[in-house]
């Protein structure tokens, strides 16, 4: 996995916690990497407040998962787990990464979520993308504003704008998630909160199957975009109507 300063990303996924990306858009990152695109992940926290495992455990597991996902760069900031705030200082921390990696596409968590960190990450990430394009915000690097921002909406009760077909990558996606043994292996800590290990595969595959069916494929991951799409040729629109 490249960590050189000159690494540039085509697609950057930003999430609150290590393992969020694996749950919501891991298959999409696999598909993009298979197309020859450069992918990256920025986790905002170290995961120190989690019921299970330690920040060090999750760092090791995140590195293993990144290799499975084929991402070229992955780092974690030190924002407080469970207490992320949309402050100017935090926006600038993300701006530094955006200007370093210069992604064309940024994936964020949907802006409404059960976990406050996830919801705030969606708005914080958007605001950082805007700030990153302002020349007078001085970080010692050139301004850069991503062309496209999309929201991973797997756990949101909303109609997706589009689905990414992850059928060829569903097993790798599951392998990347299960790299987090501190989180998903059966154990006494958090046993009343976490899904039993033997049920994780069934649940995650069922969710991906549901979204795949919406788009006429086997397995899919859903996304929302705020802006209207543009079509050049009606005869090339995918997904059959009837």
pLDDT tens by residue, 109-136: 999 999 999 999 999 999 999 999 999 9
What span, in angstroms and rounded, lies between the C-alpha atoms of 104 and 165? 20
Q: How many CA atoms lie within 13 A of 186 on its CB side?
A: 4
Q: Which two tokens stand for residue 95?
A: 């701006």
Q: What is the pTM of this model?
A: 0.93
Write down the pLDDT at residue 229: 93
Query: Which segments in the chain show pLDDT lower than 70?
Result: 1-5, 186-193
Strand partners, 40: 12, 73
Secondary-structure percent of the chain, ordered helix, strand, coil, rounded to 5 = 40, 15, 45
Q: Is 172 helix (H, G, I), strand (E, B) or coil?
A: helix
Task: Give the list of residues 6+ apart from residue 17 with CB closer than 8 angstroms, or none.
Answer: 43, 44, 45, 47, 50, 81, 117
What span, in angstroms and rounded, lies between the C-alpha atoms of 75 and 43? 6
Strands 73-79 and 39-45, bridge-based pairing: parallel
What span, in angstroms and rounded, lies between the C-alpha atoms of 144 and 134? 8
Going by CATH, does the domain composed of 11-228 fall within 3.40.50.10320? yes
Strands 162-165 and 105-109, bridge-based pairing: unpaired
The string of DSSP letters for 66-92 reads HHHHT-SEEEEEEEPTT-----HHHHH
Write down the pLDDT at residue 186: 66
Question: DSSP code of 196?
Answer: P
Q: What are phi and psi of 160, to 5 degrees?
A: -65, 150
């Amino acid at each position: 996995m490249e960590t050189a300063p000159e690494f540039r990303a085509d697609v950057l996924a930003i999430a609150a916690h290590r393992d969020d990306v694996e749950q919501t858009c891991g298959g999409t990152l696999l598909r993009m990497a298979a197309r020859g695109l450069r992918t990256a992940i920025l986790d905002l926290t170290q995961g120190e407040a989690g019921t299970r495992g330690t920040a060090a455990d999750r760092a090791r597991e995140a590195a293993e998962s990144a290799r499975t996902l084929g991402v070229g760069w992955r780092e974690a900031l030190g924002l407080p787990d469970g207490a992320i705030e949309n402050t100017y200082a935090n926006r600038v921390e993300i701006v530094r990464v955006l200007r370093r990696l210069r992604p064309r596409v940024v994936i964020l968590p949907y802006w409404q979520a059960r976990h406050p960190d996830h919801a705030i990450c969606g708005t914080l990430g958007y605001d950082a993308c805007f700030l990153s394009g302002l020349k007078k915000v001085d970080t010692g690097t050139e301004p850069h504003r991503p062309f496209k921002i999309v929201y991973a909406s797997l756990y949101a009760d909303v109609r997706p704008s589009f689905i990414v077909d992850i059928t060829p990558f569903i097993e790798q996606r599951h392998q990347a998630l299960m790299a987090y043994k501190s989180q998903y292996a059966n154990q006494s800590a958090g046993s009343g909160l976490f899904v039993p290990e033997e049920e994780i595969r069934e649940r995650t595959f069922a969710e991906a199957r549901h979204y795949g069916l919406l788009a006429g494929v086997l397995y899919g991951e859903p996304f929302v975009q705020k802006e209207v799409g543009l079509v050049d040729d009606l005869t090339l629109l995918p997904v059959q109507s009837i």
